[in-house]
Amino acid sequence: MPTTSCQLILGSASPRRRELMVWSWLPFKVVVSDVEETSQETDPLKYVMDLAEQKALDVYGKVKGELDFPVVMGCDTIVVFQDRALEKPKTTVEARSMLETLSGSAHEVLTAVSIVSPAGSRSFYDRTFVRFEDLSSDLLELYLKTGESMDKA
């Protein structure tokens, strides 16, 4: 009976996703997607699902000729506030504005995962509801100084 060697590929540059994969104890390698994080979708759930699929398909296209049976996982996470996706902050000013907007309110965090292999593809998502207490300006400034808020949902 022939056997097929399967290689799990994480299609993400995110250190947080890499850390989660390490915790799984599954052997994997990282191949970063070159996809621009844009979508024509306006519905937040469709938007995040589309981005995860774009990333998985991009990386799959890069590795499919090099490996016997690549299984590529593409992911994306967004924050949804008042039915609209908030973009990942690129500057401290954007991060401050986003956190001030979310302060004292509830929002959703949507994470989509798309898995692509020679056997086909599957996508799924998780939705988390988050409630922020009011953030004092002192706490907000301390947090911004850590750099933790940059370029992530």
Q: Is 76 a catalytic residue?
A: yes
Of 51, 75, 74, nearest to 61 (Cα)?
Answer: 74
Q: Exactly one of 43, 58, 76, 126 is catalytic; which is it?
A: 76
Q: Provide the annotated active-site residues.
A: 76
